[in-house]
Amino acid sequence: FAVVGASRKGGKFGNIVLQCLDGLGYTMYAVHPGADQVGGVESYRSYADLPEPVNAAFIAVAPAKCAAAVWAAMLLSTSHPN
């Protein structure tokens, strides 16, 4: 899983999703352009920086950034053979 917009602030949707998935044992990646770590999970600045393809992504960004986040996920998912 990738959690795009994983927030460093507790109570924000991206932070809640990240914490819930972390407790379930999934391999997951936080995507946050300004953080090296979010909630104890290593964070990557963009989809392109992820170490491997992901099967699903939670998008938790402001509405103005949502289309770009979805577009980036679509582009990377079509460029990987999985």
pLDDT for 79? 58
pLDDT at 2 over 70: yes
Read off the tokens for 11: 């109570």
Question: pLDDT tens for residues 6-52?
Answer: 888 888 888 888 888 877 888 889 998 888 988 888 899 988 898 88
Band the pLDDT of 77: cuts 50, 70, 90. low
CB of 47 closer than 8 Å to CB of 4: yes
Instruction: Give the CA dihedral 63, 22, 47, 61, nearest 10 degrees.
Output: 10
pLDDT for 26? 81
Q: b vs e for 33-49, b when ≥16 Cβ sit within 10 Å of the residue's Cβ?
A: eebeebbebebbeebee
